Amino acid sequence: MCPPAETNGTNGHVNGTVNGTNGNHEGYSAIQTNQNPHPHSSSPYRPVGDFLSNVSRFKIIESTLREGEQFANAYFDLEAKMKIAQALDDFGVDYIELTSPAASEQSRLDCEAICRLKNEKFKTAKILTHVRCHMDDARIAVETGVDGVDVVIGTSSYLREHSHGKDMTYIKNTAIEVIEFVKSKGLEIRFSSEDSFRSDLVDLLSIYSAVDKIGVNRVGIADTVGCASPRQVYDLVRTLRGVVHCDIETHFHNDSGCAIANAYCALEAGATHIDTSVLGIGERNGITPLGGLMARMIVADRDYVLSKYNVKKLKEIEDMVADYVEVNIPFNNYITGFCAFTHKAGIHAKAILNNPSTYEIINPADFGMSRYVHFASRLTGWNAIKSRADQLDLQMTDAQIKLCTAKIKALADVRKIAIDDTDSIIRAFYHNLHSQEERPLLEGLSAEEVKKFQIAEEKEKAELTGTKEKRQLEEQVEAEAEVPATKKTRTAAVA
């Protein structure tokens, strides 16, 4: 398992950026590997190109300051909102969506302030606000200085009966009224159903067709309760793509763990815009995470992602938002998690050292991150130990490294070891090869641990060379040492 988190003076987790990397990995070693080409040749399982697919031309509507405000721990004051909005613009998102200015007086003031910030400092992002499909909300929204208004209303039987109580005729007429009003102000307008995947298909296509005809910029599909599967998403978006000419925005909740997969399938089917939030925060389990979407899309089209988005800013944004909402970044978080580019098993380490593409589909350098090899464990291999010895500037032959590795693995079978323990063994082993003065491999072992170590070491060496060949390996190591051994044994020097 990964080492326990150590606080770093930010939000109490080990994910703070250290010299542009993904944190201080105690017990791990950041490694230099052979050149990492990360070829992006076509997969044999890749579908035939589809002219409707927008995998290579999607846009992001970043909703941390709208959907993210609905996260249980979220409270963003104006200063926090300004910093997050500026960071998202620096990242390169296409739109930033804000909480409805009709929600509260402070929400209206915040919306106006961020619009002013956008006019003064933003490079790319446009500002949207998300309101109910109601003329009162629309009138407030258009006065704030936003570039566009996103209107939404529930269309499923659940929401029509238990939320707003309106029928589809009312919904259609109100939607047309609000859309025409917002368009008259020269602003972008999106109409979205809510709870789309539990809505009647005929109702959905009917209202989407009606708003498309009057010139809405986008229609939205929302998996409000997180019930949709990728196949359902593909079918609905593909069907809708044949009905409307405008752009298609999609909003996926992550209650059943499908938000990223659903977003990708939506793009394959012809959707144009994906709603995200930093770390996926939002109502309940949140929505498609910005970092998770970047992980998926950089695999699909690396050139497009790197040309459009400043992905090296991802960790900075995630750390900022994590601090504001007082959460730890998960150990297995996409791209920036503690273990995202960490390798432990010996067979993995060997391949990674030769060519990182063997066990990494994403190049951590694209995101300003580092890869790590965990070499302080019973799973380590001699290639990882050789890499660590090189970092310590201790040159040994392969045979010597293999014998040293056997000792490290043996100790790891006795107790949990840290990077300092492993380094001590490597240094002591190297010293003993080149000096008449025998040095213990590791200080402070109890008599019981010494005994267990010796038993484990014998087994490790037997595994390494075969019982009959064990002594031959030791003799080879001794012969390669600069100072021939004069002691009876080197293997017991542990206490």
Query: Which residues belong to the active site?
Result: 348
- Report the C-alpha gap between 370 and 364 in whole angstroms: 6
Q: Write phi, then psi, for 316 (nearest 5 degrees).
A: -60, -45
- Report the C-alpha gap between 347 and 340 in whole angstroms: 18
Other CB atoms closer than 10 Å to residue 59's CB: what's the count?
A: 16
The amino acid present at 379, given as its one-letter code, is L
- Residue 221 parent element (H or E): strand 218-223
Q: In what order do the strands lie in the sheet with 372-373?
A: 29-30, 372-373, 342-343
- Report the C-alpha gap between 462 and 417 in whole angstroms: 22
Closest CA to 495 of 433, 430, 434, 424: 424
Cα diameter, the chain: 96
Residue 91: both structure tokens together = 């990242």
Q: Give the bridge partners for 190, in sequence order.
A: 150, 218
From residue 82, give the alpha-carbon distance in Å to each of 87, 110, 116, 118, 121.
Answer: 9, 9, 10, 10, 11
Q: How many residues does the chain have?
A: 495
Closest CA to 449 of 395, 421, 413: 413
Closest CA to 3 of 485, 356, 338, 478: 338
